[in-house]
Chains A and B, each alone.
Chain A
């Protein structure tokens, strides 16, 4: 407590605005670093990212080489996670599969988020009929529950990895558009936006300099959590034969193929499923942690 006399009101002095952003980031890092669950999530994501990148170096076998005499072998020193119905090494297929799952999960989220953010900002910022139109379109997209929208899109475009990305991205659009619209409306109401407008700033400048930075936190949180569900949806599509086609090593297709052998060789289905579970847990943990750290309401 310094003894310098300061003339201030008796109320608690408000945080100085110029410090508030730096302070916010500092408290964000502090909270995130304290959140063990979030760190565990980040660690899982990092490990899988490295495994995906270095899959060709790490994989003990070629993921596509048939070895029929050696099929359906349980885990051994040579094939740590056993072999599948064609004698291929499951560990190597899982490692290569992480490339597809991560890329599909992340790309579809980015794609969907980008379109959703643009629509959400336009909708929230300009309002009126544009807003009504965009929100009605979102309602229509959301009326196709869960995986059905993706299935409808794949049924039109055909089954392939690229189309899975498009299909999963589509479902992200209304989710992001709604969140961004809500946040934009809140920010737009702040007085300083009016002040900037009065000073003659152009719309694009207001949107990119003032609104977008202010709505980043919900977008970041939602993106992380969406990647988790995107990975599940994408693998479900492949499992149904509506996504990545065999023989490409992909977790969902591995499960679809292993299904028939569940009685005699359960390792065909146990391991790919566990891996999906682990990655998704990673993204969910990290997303939850980000939300807690970015939420101004959570003090403790």
Chain B
């Protein structure tokens, strides 16, 4: 097991190298002169040259890349062009934590409601409850989350006045964004749990449990759910990632000052170091979370050990 964990962590190295390379190359793939774009339309040639010099764009590519990783490893992702503050400071002062908080609450909601709905559905196959839950899940999955966010604001903030329209700080601020962010995930987890549970309940060992005289509830929760959850765990990890992405949209709708808005604002302002830094941080976070999920999957599913 320990060996597996070490190997799994080592496996992330090529991905991390690829991610940094891709993020690094972003700036060089910009059609036209990146320095000119970043310096702004009204910049004179000296300013553009100064920008180029600051970003080190005159050095050979490989040298630039090694400097990029070297700096990134020490926590230096360059300075924002817009605010001139260090990128890492902009990210980690508060925005990163807000987005992570949002993603965690969203994931928790998605897991909670997804699991409950999936179990209810699977244990009452083809019942009214099952069909309604699966229709709701289909709609949850098919709904653009930015639209859901706007509709929630319209209903709960504008019409009913129960919750704040925008911003971040108190728990009341978190409710609507978390629902907005978690809905699609809940739908996916519900569908996944249902099908996994149905498959498991069809297995021979479930029949063995019944043959032992185990009651329905115990068969479903002890024998069924434990096995059904194994594939669901991987989905939860992937969901955290897409929630991280979904946060971009949600933060825009609810005017939450997280990483998502930072990316959008930075793209608009052609603040490339900022864009690079934020995307890099998100990708690394996602890789880390997925690695943790993979390891816990192993812990849950002891059978995989054989292979």
Contact = CB atoms under 8 A, between A and B. Distances in A.
Interface of A: 136-137, 139-140, 143-148, 151-152, 154-158, 228, 232, 235-236, 239-242, 252, 255, 259, 262-263, 266, 269-270, 272-273, 276-277, 280-281, 284-285
Contact of A140 (B18, B143, B243, B267): B18
Given A147-B249, A151-B263, A241-B268, 7 more contacts: A136-B18, A140-B22, A144-B279, A144-B282, A152-B275, A154-B267, A236-B144
B252 interface: yes
A124 to B, nearest CB: 19
A146 B246 contact: yes
Contacts, number: 135
B249 A242 contact: no
B264 interface: yes
B249 A236 contact: yes
A145 B245 contact: yes
A151 B14 CA distance: 23
Contacts of A284: 138, 141-142
Nearest to B143: A277
B154 A140 contact: no
B112 interface: no
Nearest to A132: B14
Contacts of B143: 273, 276-277, 280
Range class of the B interface residue count:
35 or more
A145 B154 CA distance: 29
A296 B231 CA distance: 20
A257 B264 CA distance: 17
A143 B242 CA distance: 10
A255 B146 contact: yes
B286 A269 contact: no
B220 interface: no
Interface in B227-276: 241-246, 248-249, 252-253, 263-264, 267-268, 272, 275
A158 B272 CA distance: 12
Contacts of B287: 143
Contact of B26 (A147, A152, A235, A269): A152
Interface in B120-144: 138-139, 141-144
Contacts of A270: 151
Contact of A262 (B26, B30, B150): B150
B147 A255 contact: yes
Counting chain B CB atoms within 10 Å of each CB, the highest count among A137, A139, A241 belongs to A139
Given A239-B249, A284-B141, A285-B138, A269 B282 contact: no
B138 A281 contact: yes
Given A263-B158, A273-B150, A277-B139, A137 B18 contact: yes
Contact of A156 (B30, B142, B244, B268): B30
A147 B139 contact: no
Q: Which 7 A-B pairs have the closest CB atoms?
A: A146-B245, A140-B18, A273-B147, A145-B241, A280-B142, A146-B242, A147-B245
A148 B15 contact: no
Interface string B59-93: 00000000000000000000000000000000000
Contact of B18 (A143, A147, A152): A143
A147 B184 CA distance: 14
A241 B267 CA distance: 10
25 contacts: A136-B14, A136-B15, A139-B15, A139-B18, A140-B18, A140-B22, A144-B283, A146-B246, A147-B245, A147-B248, A148-B282, A151-B279, A154-B267, A155-B26, A235-B144, A236-B145, A239-B249, A239-B252, A273-B144, A273-B147, A273-B151, A280-B143, A281-B142, A284-B138, A284-B141
Contacts of B283: 143-145, 148
